Every structure is written in C-alpha cells, then in structure tokens.
Amino acid sequence: MLLVNSSHISALILQRLEEIEVERKKKELSLSERIDKVSQLKLIKGDKGADGAKGAKGADGAKGAKGADGAKGNNGDSVKGDRGEDGVGIENVDIDFDGNLTVTLTDGNQIDAGSITPLKDRDVYISSTVSKGEASLTWIDYATGFTSDPTLTQTIATGDVYTYTYASDTLYRLVPSGSEQDAFYSVFAGGVLSALVATKRITI
C-alpha cells in the first residue's frame, strides 16, 4: 500500500492551481491583443453594387370613399335700381289753315314746327277706301295739299265741316268739336259726311 504524504498532495494541488492561473492570464492577454488589432484595422469602402432589377408594378389600391358635399354658398343680395324718369312723347299734332304745324308733347309743352309747304303741284289721289288707294297719301298730305284755302261749309253736331279743293277733286274735312276724329271725306250731303278717305293718326 502506497502512502502519500498529505503535505506533498497539498503542494501538488497548489502547483496545479498556479498553472491554471497562468494559463488563464495567457488566454486573457491573447484576447486583449486580438481586440487591439481589430480596433486598429481601417475600413475600406467597396465599389457601388449594380442596381437591382425593377420590381413589378404593384396592384392598384382600393377606391377611396366619396368626400362629403361642400357647404351651400349664400345667395347674393339683389339690388333694385331706381325707377327711371318718364319719357316725353307726342300727344297731338295740329296743322292750322295757314299750314303751320304745331306738335303738343305729353308734358304739356308745344313745339311750333313752322309752315309746311302745300303740295299744290302734286296730283292728289282721291279714294273713298283708304286701304285700297293706289297712292300712299296721309292725313297730312290732304291737310296741306290743297290748291286753294279751305272754307267753312257747315257746322254740324259733331263739329265744323270745311271744303278742301285739290287739283282734280274736292274733299270735306271734319274738325271735331268733341270726341270725333279729325278726318277727310269725299262726300258731304244733307249734313252727313260719308266715304271716309283719311283720319288723323299719330304714329310714334
């Protein structure tokens, strides 16, 4: 039987522990040196790589919901303009026996248009039906186209009847005293006028 001195065993254990400690320190030193070397390395930038292939078009997104309606605008205020002044028109036109033309306006003013030259050198077409006459003569033509001064023939219920003489005919003019129209007739017999030729009308 081998007897081992306890003191000798203790010395061996201690020696082994010291060896383990030395090996551990060596390993730690080796790791530290490696870290220092790595930290001293310089980074080198590499060349740019080629662009990758273009990817396929993605699917269209879902249609968004309809937006809310905008608020209704306010109605603009309308402004009513002031009423314009009344215009002035012709109320009456009168020719006296001397051939003077007087125009009466709707505002009461009168305009003396002066003398109208009688149409003594023109033939006057006499027709009992004005609308079918071959000459477009008017009341003014008859009132100014006489060849001799008109004469008062008779006073009847509706006014005075004057005789107008023309180059080839004679007409009778009623100058009313009331609401009757001033007009020319081709026939005057027994105090009655007939065969109307033309009436006094104002066309504006």
Whether residues 108 and 174 fall in one domain: no
- Reported pTM: 0.37
In a domain, 144, yes or no: yes
Whether residues 185 and 151 fall in one domain: yes
Indicate the burial class of 166 (C-beta count within 10 angstroms; 0-12, 13-18, 19 or more): buried
* Residue 126 pLDDT: 34
Boundary residue ending a domain (77, 97, 117)? 117
In a domain, 169, yes or no: yes
* Residue 96 pLDDT: 63
In a domain, 124, yes or no: yes
Domain count, the chain: 2
Residue 23 per-residue DSSP state: H
In a domain, 53, yes or no: no
Q: What is the pLDDT along the chain (204 residues), one digit of tens a residue?
A: 445 567 777 788 888 888 888 888 877 766 667 677 656 655 567 678 787 788 788 787 788 788 788 777 676 566 777 777 777 777 777 776 566 677 777 778 877 776 665 444 433 333 333 333 435 688 988 999 899 999 999 999 999 999 999 988 899 999 999 888 999 999 999 999 999 999 986 544
Give the SS3 label for residue 172.
strand
In a domain, 109, yes or no: yes
Whether residues 136 and 157 fall in one domain: yes
Q: For residue 114, give Cα distances in angstroms to 12, 99, 111.
A: 165, 8, 9
In a domain, 193, yes or no: yes
Sign, CA dihedral 80-86-89-91, equals positive
How far apart are the two ends of the chain, measured CA to CA in Å?
Answer: 165
- Structure tokens belonging to residue 122: 């023109």
* Residue 76 pLDDT: 59
Whether residues 126 and 171 fall in one domain: yes
Whether residues 104 and 134 fall in one domain: no
In a domain, 66, yes or no: no
Give the range of the structural domain holding residue 125, as residue numbers without chain letter: 120-199
